[in-house]
Each structure stands twice: as structure tokens, then as C-alpha cells.
Amino acid sequence: MNASLRNLVMTMLPAAAGALVVLVLAVVGGPVSPRTGTSWLNSGTATAGGGEYACTVADPGALRSAVFGTSGWEEAQIDNATIVYLAAADRGLGDQAAIAGLITAYQESRLLNYANFNVEESLEYDHDRIGDDQDDLGIFQRSPSSGWGSVSDLMDPEDAARAFYDELVAVDGWEHMTPAEAARAVPGSASPDAYPRWEAYAESAVGHFTDHTRCVPVGDEWAWTHPVPTGDFWGGFRTAGRPGHDGVDIGAEDGGKGAEIVAASAGVVARVRCDAQLGEQDYSCDVDGAAEVSGCGWYVDVEHPDDAVTRYCHMMSRPLVAVGDVVLPGEVIGYLGSSGNSGAPHLHFETHVGSAPATSANAVSPVEFMAERGVSIE
């Protein structure tokens, strides 16, 4: 896969008023920084164009604690900072843009969503504070006459943040500026010279957002595909003869061993495991299994943005991916083999819907699942 995409991460945090946002789309392409742990940080210049991404955070509480620990921000400020960051992620603008957005919102409102006594309508919307500075509203303190949107738009931190980035990307050469310079270049600030003092806070917050986040590509550019391009359908899902068979079996031509197994769609690798036992003893997954061996052998679980999980069992050898890797449709993740409970080289392919982890309770027919996504595997 493209190394730049593998090294990508955006962020995901609890949204304002305590709601947890679980999906955000980001358009991403171009250079990104090296991967650190299970996170990918787009830390270079703008990367507009190239596809959509969905981002999630596993532990919002831990993320809030981390941001609070280095910023001292109250919960509303952290929530609003999250929204500003996500608006940059949504467009693939990178962390430089996110920092510019954060320092602007912090300078203008201390990252608090302001209604205004002078704009009666603004009081109807969720807000953190009430001010009376002319007719300025929201976290960016913009007027309804500024062109950033209606009162409703300005009082919605997500809409206001998107409007900020609309203004930012219209600035010629913004991607080559420092965050403070880029923020100053966006029209409308009352105190642009104050921006640099908040840059360290914003950089720290962005680092925490990245550490707790995964992003995977979604959208038409990342469609579903057959998990074994050369595969032949061997066996069905929960047949009369095998009611506990939670997937389908796919073989390949010429005996099949060593055929490529590919990710059926974009996702994040959630599990890589050797699962093989003979009696009560662990059994090697680097040799062919047998009927008396139990388990899935070498297998991989991939979590997808639509709350689906795909599982790929009986691989010939250790998979080519690791937990936390972002995979794209058609990316080779391993080779067809016969490890675990297997009498011949094949892929046991499962599909699961609902929240991870993949279990027998949330397994669904891969034939129907893939058909709904435009792919015939039967």
C-alpha cells in the first residue's frame, strides 16, 4: 500500500455537550510523517484531494485526561478543540491547519462557544458562555455579516470550524506558512499578533489527538473487493451440515497454497493471531493443520468504517500486517494456506456487523454481505 496512507492519522474525540462523534471524513493524499506506534500523523503541508477517511478514538476519557494534563482546559474547551481539529481532518488539511484553527479559536474565545445578548437568536442554541461584543458569535467570534454563515452556523462549532478552513485554504500559500502566520492571514481577527503565544498549547493538543486516533479511508474510491482474487467458492455460511460455520471457504487454482489474500476493503487491522490447538496444547500455525487441530490458524481481523469486521483465517504464514495498520482494498495481507483446523489450503472468510469484536453472535453471511457491497464471492 501507499506508505503515505499507512502513516496517516487524524483525530476523534467527544464532541460538544458530551456526545461522542464516531465518524469523520477526511480527504487525504500527499506526504505525511513517519508512523509512531499505532498512530499516523499528517504533519506536513496540506494534502487536499485523494479520498475520504473515517476516524475513531478508542478511549475518549483517556484522551480528555491527556489533553487536560498538558493544557488545563476545561471540558467544554477540550470538546471544542476536538471539533476544530476534526474539521481540519475532515478535509485532510493536516496538523498545521489544525494548529492554526486551534490558536485562532483560543485567542478569539478561549475555545468557548459564545452566544451574544445582542443577537437574541443566538441564545436559542447550545452555548458555553454569553457575551455582548457587538454581534460576534461562536468559538471564532464571527458576525453573521462576515460571510461565515447564519447565526445557526456560527453557533455550531463544526460549521464555524469548517468556515474557518474555507477561509484558510483561500489564502495563497497558506500551507507554507507557520500555523500562526496562517492564522493571521485569515481575515477577521481582532488580535492577530497574539496568536503565536498559543501555538505550544495547540501543538500539544494535536499530539494527544493523534496518539489516541485511527483513520481509515472510505468512500467510492475505496470500494470492496474479493478477498482472494483467484478464488473459487468452496463452502457456505452455516449450512445444514455445518451450522456453526460462521464464514465461507474460498479456495484457489492450482491447489491454492500461497495465493494472495487481500483486504476486502479499507480498514484498520484489529487483530493478528495464531489460533491453533491440538488437544489442550498450542499447535504451530507455520505448518499445515488437520481436522483434529482446532482454531483459525494464522488470521487477521480488519475493522471497517461502517462498523463491519472482516476475518481472514488459515493463512500459510504470519500475516504481512500488524495491529493498527491501515489497509486499503486489494492490499495483500497474507497468503492462502492451511493452518489451524484445515484439511486443504483455503481462506475461511467471515463478515461481522456491529461493534467489534467479531463474534459468532454478530457474524453474517459473507455472500450476502459482499453482494450488498457489489462483490460476488459465490
Task: Report the alpha-carbon distance of residue 38 to residue 7 in Å, rounded.
Answer: 9
Task: Report the alpha-carbon distance of residue 145 to residue 202 in Å, rounded.
Answer: 28
Question: Domain boundary residue among 191, 220, 249?
Answer: 220
Is the same domain home to 73 and 111?
A: yes
C-alpha cell of residue 206: 494535536
| pTM for this model (two decimals) | 0.58
Is the same domain home to 234 and 312?
A: yes
Range of the domain at 356: 223-372
Q: Identify whether 378 is part of a domain.
A: no
Task: Report the alpha-carbon distance of residue 308 to residue 271 in Å, rounded.
Answer: 14
Task: Report the alpha-carbon distance of residue 296 to residue 341 in Å, rounded.
Answer: 6
Buried b (16+ CB within 10 A) or exposed e, 15-25: bbeeeebeebb
**Among positive and negative, which fits the CA dihedral 162, 163, 164, 165?**
positive
Question: Domain boundary residue among 220, 237, 258?
Answer: 220
pLDDT one digit per residue (tens) for the chain, 378 residues: 333 232 333 322 222 222 222 222 232 322 222 222 222 223 332 233 334 666 666 678 888 899 999 889 999 999 999 889 888 877 777 788 899 999 999 999 999 999 999 999 999 999 999 999 999 999 999 999 888 899 999 999 999 999 999 999 999 988 888 899 999 999 877 677 888 899 988 999 988 887 776 666 666 656 899 999 888 999 999 999 999 999 999 998 665 789 999 999 988 899 999 999 999 899 999 999 999 999 999 999 999 877 899 999 999 999 999 998 888 889 999 999 999 999 999 999 999 998 778 999 999 999 999 998 889 998
The pLDDT assigned to 354 comes to 82
Secondary structure class of 139 (helix, strand, coil): coil
Number of domains the chain is built from: 2
Is the same domain home to 64 and 197?
A: yes
Is the same domain home to 213 and 284?
A: no
Is the same domain home to 206 and 348?
A: no
Task: Report the alpha-carbon distance of residue 235 to residue 133 in Å, rounded.
Answer: 69
Is the same domain home to 191 and 227?
A: no
Is the same domain home to 16 and 85?
A: yes
The pLDDT assigned to 220 comes to 60
C-alpha cell of residue 368: 450476502
CATH number, domain containing residue 229: 2.70.70.10
Q: Identify whether 362 is part of a domain.
A: yes
